[in-house]
Structure formats: structure tokens, C-alpha cells
Structure 1
Amino acid sequence: MNAINNQAADKNWWRGAVIYQVYPRSFQDSNGDGIGDIKGIADRLDYIAELGADAVWISPFFTSPMKDFGYDVSNYCDIDPMFGTLADFDLMIEKAHKLGLKIMIDLVLSHTSDQHPWFMESRQSRDNPKADWYVWADAKPDGSPPNNWLGMFGGSAWQWDARRLQYYLHNFLASQPDLNFHNMDVQDALLEAVRFWLDRGVDGFRLDTINYYFCDKELRDNPPLAPELRNDSTAPAVNPYNYQLHLYDKSRPENLEFLKRLRAVMEEYPAIAAVGEVGEAQRGLEIVGEYTSGGDKMQMCYAFEFLAPQKVTPERVVDSINAFADAAPEGWACWAFSNHDVVRHLTRWGADVEDKPAYAKMLASLLMSLRGSVCIYEGEELGLTEADVAFEDLQDPYGIEFWPEFKGRDGCRTPMVWQAGAANGGFSTAEKTWLPVSADHIMKSVDVQQGEDTSVLEHYRRFLAFRRQHKALISGTIAFIPHEGDTLVFTREEGGETVLCIFNMSAEPVTAKLPEGDWNAFSAEDFGFAVDRDGDTIKLPAWGAYFARHGE
């Protein structure tokens, strides 16, 4: 077992960090079985370090029947054999630390697999030692579920169990029963799992569905949500989940005390950080504010403002950043444009954009200039669009359930492309990979873009290097400067340095006036945008950006 990682004395390393998300099934296959693995991640850590990331977030790799691809855990303290062994993990984390990378792992605490030993015992009777470890309830007199709660994958959130003659709660798949956090033994067991990974040297956690830990103890019905308030950022529009105001099945006030317990465990170790995923459309920022307040809960929360289908615009950026600041004045945001659960942002926002590489570079520069930490999803730095996965190749139960109106999450989960001339884009030597490698992605592979000055990959590398040189862009304050049209203007300031950031968020050239002051432009070589300047007037090309420093 690795010793606890003491390389980072700075407990605030996470503030402004760039976190690279790895979906392990799709990153690198080291043994030719068509599925990515831990050794494969270790083999590619140099690439992540050279890109300029500070940390790696690895989606679940725990023992699992894989009904939801690792988000259904059957053993919190082991590696699923398809991904490797604990020894592989130890070697991976040792290499990461030598490269100066932090490792954050994805913890799924709200629910387990129905094949977890805890649930297998709990369902045997109403009086066994773990009988109360999950959310069980009697049927209504007519045999129907205990209340009207709906699950994220469609239909009732309750599943009948013939052994106990009761229903159990599952906010996701029926094979993912929800743990009963009202039971302190459950909390203690989960915190021991947290310690297990901290003892192996991890630097932090991404906490899946952090606001789902507790449900209402009285199991009260959720009220309906007015049609005009329905928002498909938590679930796709085809899902009736959006028809309820989720007051009682999640985001309960009792969660705050558990988060304090979790933070206290993390504080026993040096420089640990966590980012919580808040899955909530109606009260998302309010909950983020609660969960990051007081310095005794989560360091960061991962909100959905820029993971939603609505196209990013100057107005949306200003409103989202200001809304976060208002809702979470003590909090720190963690922003992402893409992840393993949503359509890749170049497709979600840019389906009608002709020059997608230019659009990708502008969005990357914007993401890395916002106040907050940053998550980059694997392949984003290559300018990958959503892959088109045929129905017969689908793996995601979400997509299979709602096809074709909602095609699921497989399109953003297809394998990473490393070498254009290699089998499966260099991801695997297998005859068939778990999801097909997108033919559209092959010519955007790492070896095609590496060293190519105008490529999206080299833009990410340049901009991340530029960002590292300016503390204002990492952790400085942000101030928006009003501007008309499709131009977004703001400054970042820290330690006497002020950086001006201007973005043209349109497909046409625009002219913009610089704010008052002595602004000295950074070299275009830092980030690849060619901008014409005449005094206090600049002309930005389509999807262009401009960066300058105040004074010398």
C-alpha cells in the first residue's frame, strides 16, 4: 500500500486547479480486451501532465456488475478485475505523484449495486443486522409504491422485493438501491471506505450525486412542478422526472451534518479536496452554496450551469457566474463544459458552427479564464464532437430506455483516439472494443494534432501553460464589463495583476473598445488568437479572443 501522499503542503491546491477527467473504460486498454484499465491510465499519465493538468479525476473502477458501468458498486474497497488490481492502482498513483499530478477518484456513496453484500443481507429479512441499511417501505393498502417519487431512468423510484414484501428506493436503476443515511452505521461504513482510499494516497474525491444521500424520513410525496419551470438539465426532456419538484427525495437538510463528518475525515490527511456533483435543476446553486459554506463541508461543488443544452452566450456566462457568487459567497466553483453524462459541448452548442476548431479554442480559453476550478473531459482537448453510436452498439441503459428521442450517454463515452494509423485509434488492439471507435474522431487523434501549431490540442497546451504563469487567471477575482452583442468582457485580478479577457462568441468578426487604462496585450503566440488593435479599439476574428495586462 502506498504511503499517504505528502507532496502537496498547500491545502488550497484545488483552488483554480485544472482537473482532467478520465473515463477508465475508454481511455487506454493495456491488455487487449477492448476495455480501458488502470495500467492504461498509468501509461498515459505523461500525456496528461504534458497537457498541463494539475489533477486527474477517474470515474469509478470499483468492483461492480457494471449495470451502470461502475456507478453500481458491489465493493467499495477493491478494483473490478476488468480494470486491474489494487497493485495496479498503487503503481498508477505512485507515477502520478512523481509527475506532480493529484489523483481524485469518483465515489458513489448514495447507492450501491443490488449485488453488494450489504444489500444482499438487508433484503433477506426485516430484522437482520443490515435490515435498515437501505430505504425500505411498505406498500400502500392497494399494493402501489409508498409515494410518487420518480427515478432518473424513468418510472417509479420504488422496486418491489418479494423477500421482504416491501419496496426499496432506487433513484437510478432498480439494480442500484439507495442507502439509508439516517442510519449512522451506514455513514460509518462509508467513511471507512473513504479512509481506505485516503490511506492508499489519493488526493481527493469527486462525489457522485452528493445531494441524493438523504431522503425525507417521512417519505412525503413530491409536489408537481409547473410546466413552465421544467428544466431538462437534470434529466432529458423525455423523462417524467422533470414533472416533479424534488423536495423530498433528495437535497435534504440532514445532508449538511454528514458532509461535515466527511470533511472531518478528509482533514485527518494532508491537502485533501473534494468536489461534489449537485444534480438539481431547480435549486442547484442554492444547494452548492449550502454545501461549500463555512469551510467545514465541501471545498468545491460541480454544478450543471454549463452542462445544460442551452448554448453558452455572453449573457449566460455573466448570469451563471454572478448567480454562483450570490448563492455561494463562501464557495468555490468547479466548471465544466463536458463530461461522461452529457453530449459533448462542441455538438451540444456548436452543431451549426462551421469552424469547429476555432469554436473549440475560444470555448477552451473561456473555460480556463473563468473564476473557479476547471474540469476537462478526455478528448475535449482534441476538439472531439459527439460520436454517432448505432442502436445495436448501445451500452448505456439510459439510451436504450429512451431511444431514439434520447440516445443516452454512449456518444460521449467512445474510446479516446491516440494514433490515426493504429487499430482502434491506438486505444486497443482488440478486434472489438466495448464501444466502437468513432471514424470521425480518428483524424483528430493525438498523434495527428501533436506538434501541429494550429491544432486544438496545442491550443489547450499553450493556454494551460499561459494560465499557470498568471495567478490572476487561477484564483483571482472576476469583474464583468458591460458590452453589447456577442462580445464578453471581464477582468481577473490578484496580487496587483489585472488580466483583461475579451471573447468574440460569434461566427462574425467584431470590433470592441478596450476599457479605460493602459492595456498591454500578451503575445498571440501564447494562445494563438490574431487580433488587430488600433489604439483602444480591437478587431476580433470569428470566435476570437484577446488578453492583455494592465500596466507593465
Structure 2
Amino acid sequence: MNENWWRNAIIYQVYPRSFQDTNGDGIGDLKGITSRLDHIASLGVDAVWLSPIFTSPMADMGYDVSDYYDIDPLFGTLQDFDDFVTRSHELGLKVIIDQVLSHSSSKHSWFEESRASRASSKADWYVWADAQPDGMPPNNWLSVFGGSAWEWEPRRKQYYLHNFLADQPDLNLHNEEVQEALLRVLRFWLERGVDGFRLDTVNYYYHDQQLRSNPASIRADREALPDVYGRQEHIFSKNRPENIDFLKKLRTLTDEFEGRMMVGEIGDGGDAATKLMAEYTKGSDRLHLCYSFELLSPNYTASHFRNALESYRLAAPDGTACWSFSNHDVPRHVTRWEENAGSSKELAKQTVAMLMSFEGSIGIYQGEELGQQDTELNYDELTDAQAIRFWPAVKGRDGCRTPMVWEATKQHGGFSSAKPWLPVKDPQLVRAVDAAEASNDSVLHSYRSTIEFRKNNDALLTGSTAFLDLPEPILAFHRMTKDQKLTCVFNLSETARELRVEGAVSLSGPSSATLHNQILTLNPNGFAYLISNQLEGLELIS
């Protein structure tokens, strides 16, 4: 086993509710995922990440865990999980599972004991605080899902902290007993054979023990935001320096097991996210990988991509980032960026070429290999608490969570024999797996060929990155090893562009470009990989 397999790995995210249903209840399950592993393996990816599958009341679709040691019956059993791990490993796929350590469900036995009395053995396992003299919460901290981050508990006559839903009380990681309990959870799953963890909201683990109020945000657009959460600088409710010591404990544990890894989610934006990614991955005693929402934003400009990658590398020269364009929390990138595209198919092909050329590890979200777009949902079809509360200004996350579509002519796209928990609609059906397999020009085949190209090029796997100073809408950079220089060029617009090439170069791998008489012509949303050891210059001419 390559202990450092994670450094340039391609990780495929499965949203279990929406992958494949085998028992006819309209909800995906572990047996369904296992039955579809051949599809995942055929892409050439290295690992499968499962969003939460643990016992849960599902107030936040499994990110509210009530039993960290068992599988929710919706998804199956521990035996089903073991079968999934076995089959994944047979196919050469690593297994990464979500771990939600910053908070639990309000139905967890730990919280039920904690809320019952200030004298209980777990009284300090969650974050409790007295009301102010006028009965108001102890400070101004806000919940990501709206309103105050504090909920009143009449039995204790205190407030408890919840950075997300009131059903998701924050664990008190300042308490070492809580830390040890969470470490035991991770050990249980490591011993069961998982290869890594995706750590949810890893920057929310600690809070300011003085409970100081957050200052107002200095963002220029704060009043234009659809909610008020972005109007604060969350310097006391999250992103605390105490986090580092716990990350080191997590690393010590995973290092006991050969070839295991952790990838942390930074729930933040802008410069703070890049700084935290670097801080959490520097050296060899913290997280193996980190990702933020930097490239999951609506921003589709060369300067934005360059700034994100360069800022991270500058801040953590020895760290490893994990870059992705889509996941279960944001609109799918083909939808997010469609106004920059002449064709959604060409945009999908370009974005996988761009993603596979980035330095670090790569994340793919289920369905993006088909060029899937967000599903337009009506209010009565929603399940996401955030969308239900703030509709229509906030459409929520259901649109990117609708089921995988396997067969275009089957009811519900072959996902289930019953009505799915979220609908399968015609715009998604036309991008079914079987239709993509039958078309030589499909996004699916582009994903496979681009992933194969990455894996066969040391420059893309291990090379350093150097950006070229070209104007918008061109993103261009070298990936370089001692023996190879590959230049990656992307046209981030719906209009064809021409560049003058100086020096001897040649096209390599998949592309949507031509090279003739030293002129590189990039199609709308076009891209090219150039073997460029003798490249002397690249200039945008039209």
C-alpha cells in the first residue's frame, strides 16, 4: 500500500440517499451503492467518500448523528457496510466516511443526559450558558441556518449552542472526556477497515470559552446577502486556535493505521478559508487534506482560480489541498457557471480538464461525470430545512441532491421502483448513465479519458505549478517535474480565443483546441494540454 496515496488522489463522493435504492422505499442504501461500485471504479478514481450513514433522526439528512457506532436502518446494517468496504477494496477503491464531530443530534443519548440536569455526568459535554439578565442569549452568535445560535432548555434553565439546526447541539471539545469519546468513535471505524475520514465542519470544533460576541463583518456586500449570517466575522464562534491541538490528536490516531487519511471541510469563505486550509494541513502532524468552498462559489474567472491555488501554496508549501467544483451543499457547477458557457456539455468537459490539472487531490460529486445540472424544484418538493425556512430567496441544497439517473427510459431513471425522496425530472433523465455510455462524445467518456491522462502524467500528479500572466478569460499554468513540462490552457468564455505560441510545443491528451502555424485556437470553453519543454511564450491575440 502507498501510504501517501491521498496526496494526488481522486475522490468520488456518494450521497447515499440518492445513489441507488434496492429495497423499494425511494431512498438509496448501502446495498445499492455496492451494486454500482463498478461504475465508480470505471472512472479511474482512487476512493469513495460516503456522506453520513449513521443512525440519525435525519433533521439534516444524517449530519445530526444519534449513534456514531451503527448504520441507520434507512441505509442498511453494519454487515451491509462491511460488504461495501470489502467490494470497494476488491476494486482498488479506498473508503472514506463522513464524521460529524462538531455536533451531534439532539436525540443522541449524550445530549439527552446533558440537557436533563446540570448535575449529570455529561453536563459539560455540550456548550451551555446562562441567559443575560433580560433573558436574552449570552451573545450575538448566529446559526448558519438562521436566527440565534442559542436554544433555551427549560430543564437546565440555560441556553445551548447550535451552530446549525437546534436539533444539532454543539459538542464541547474543551472537555477532554468529549475528545476521548470522539477518538474512540474514529478508532472503531478504522478497525472496521475504513481508509479515511471526511471531517465535517472541521473549523467549528471549538468556541471561545469567554463567549465574546462576534464583531460585525467588514464585507462590502454584507447587506446584499440573503441571510444575516454573513454580517458577522465569526472569530469567536468558530476558527479558534485550540483546534490545532485536537487535529494533532486525530492525526496521532490515524497514524497508528497504515495508509489512513483525513480530509477536513472548512466551512468558511475567502481569505479566512485559504488561511485555515494552510494552517490545518501544514507539516505532518495535522490533517492530510483540507478543502473549502473557494472553488464551490459562483466565481468563474481565471483570477479567482489562480488566487485560490496560489494563496494556498504560498501559505502551506508542504501541505496538500483537495479541490472540487461540486458537492452536496452547493448548486452543481455546470448550473452555477452556465452563463459563462456556450454549451453545458463543453463546460462540463472543460471543467474536468481544469480540475484534473490542479495540484493536490481532487473531489468529484456523483453525477458530475454525466454533466448533471441542478434540478428545479417546487416548494412542496423540498426537504432541506434551510430552503423551507427562507424560500424563495434561498433555494437550498435539494437541487444538487436529486437521485442518480442510471437508465433514461426507466421509471425514476432506474434509481428506485418507488417514488424517490426527491424527484427525478426530464432534464436529469436525458443525462442518464446508459445514454452517456452509448455516446462517444459524452461527458462521461471525457471524464474517463481526462482522469486517465492525469494518472499517466507525472507532471499532473506530482509537478509544481507556475501560472502564466495572461489576461481574462484565459487561465494558463505550467505543471513541471524535472523531466517534463506540461502547459495547461483554458478559455473561460463562450467565445473562441486565439493565442500566439513561441517555441516548439505540441498538443497532448484530450483537448478542444487546434494548433496550427504557431496559433493555438481554443474553442468556446475550450482547453488544451501542451507538451512545452521548449515553450518560449504564450500571448492572447484575440
TM-score, normalised with respect to structure 2: 0.96
Cα separation, 2, equivalents of 1:479 and 1:183: 45
Corresponding residue for residue 528 of structure 2: 546
Cα separation, 1, equivalents of 2:380 and 2:421: 12
Alpha-carbon contact 1:285-1:328 (below 8 Å) kept: no
Corresponding residue for residue 521 of structure 1: 507
Corresponding residue for residue 538 of structure 2: none
Corresponding residue for residue 184 of structure 1: 176
**Residues 512, 412 of structure 1: CA spacing in aligned structure 2 closer, same or farther, 3 A cutoff?**
same
Q: Which amino acid counterpart does residue 317 of structure 2 have in structure 1?
A: P
Equivalent position to 2:458, from 459, 464, 471? 471
Deviates most, 396-405 or 273-282: 273-282
Cα separation, 2, equivalents of 1:551 and 1:328: 27
**What pairs with 1:87-486 in structure 2 (closer than 5 Å)?**
87-228=79-220, 230=222, 237-281=225-269, 283-310=272-299, 312-351=300-339, 353-430=341-418, 432-486=419-473
Query: C-alpha offsets along residues 468-524 of structure 1, whole Å, 9 cap, x if unaligned?
Result: 10121122111111123322211111241211111111111111123x5432322xx
Report the CA distance between 1:538 and its aligned residue. 1.1
Alpha-carbon contact 1:399-1:407 (below 8 Å) kept: yes
Query: C-alpha offsets along residues 156-195 of structure 1, whole Å, 9 cap, x if unaligned?
Result: 0000001111000000000100000000000000000000
Report the CA distance between 1:227 and its aligned residue. 4.5
Report the CA distance between 1:79 and its aligned residue. 0.2
**What pairs with 1:42-121 in structure 2 (closer than 5 Å)?**
42-121=34-113
Corresponding residue for residue 4 of structure 1: none
Cα separation, 2, equivalents of 1:309 and 1:505: 13
Gaps of 5+ in 2: 535-542
Query: C-alpha offsets along residues 36-63 of structure 1, whole Å, 9 cap, x if unaligned?
Result: 0111110111100001111111100000
Alpha-carbon contact 1:158-1:170 (below 8 Å) kept: yes
Report the CA distance between 1:355 and its aligned residue. 1.0
Report the CA distance between 1:537 and its aligned residue. 1.9
Identical positions, percent:
51
Cα separation, 1, equivalents of 2:530 and 2:344: 25
**Residues 180, 370 of structure 1: CA spacing in aligned structure 2 closer, same or farther, 3 A cutoff?**
same
Cα separation, 2, equivalents of 1:517 and 1:249: 54
Alpha-carbon contact 2:269-2:292 (below 8 Å) kept: no
Report the CA distance between 1:530 and its aligned residue. 4.3
SS in 2 for 1:338: coil
Q: Which amino acid counterpart does residue 498 of structure 2 have in structure 1?
A: T
Report the CA distance between 1:231 and its aligned residue. 9.8
Gaps of 5+ in 1: 1-8
TM-score, normalised with respect to structure 1: 0.94
Report the CA distance between 1:321 and its aligned residue. 1.1
Cα separation, 1, equivalents of 2:3 and 2:391: 45
Q: How many residues in Structure 1 have an aligned counterpart in Structure 2?
A: 533
Report the CA distance between 1:329 and its aligned residue. 2.2
Cα separation, 2, equivalents of 1:335 and 1:545: 19
Alpha-carbon contact 2:160-2:169 (below 8 Å) kept: yes
**Residues 511, 19 of structure 1: CA spacing in aligned structure 2 closer, same or farther, 3 A cutoff?**
same
Report the CA distance between 1:353 and its aligned residue. 3.1
SS in 1 for 2:295: coil
SS in 1 for 2:152: strand
Report the CA distance between 1:229 and its aligned residue. 6.1
Cα separation, 1, equivalents of 2:113 and 2:157: 15
Alpha-carbon contact 1:414-1:438 (below 8 Å) kept: no
Cα separation, 2, equivalents of 1:271 and 1:419: 37
Q: Which amino acid counterpart does residue 387 of structure 1 have in structure 2?
A: T
Q: Which amino acid counterpart does residue 97 of structure 2 have in structure 1?
A: I
Corresponding residue for residue 503 of structure 1: 490
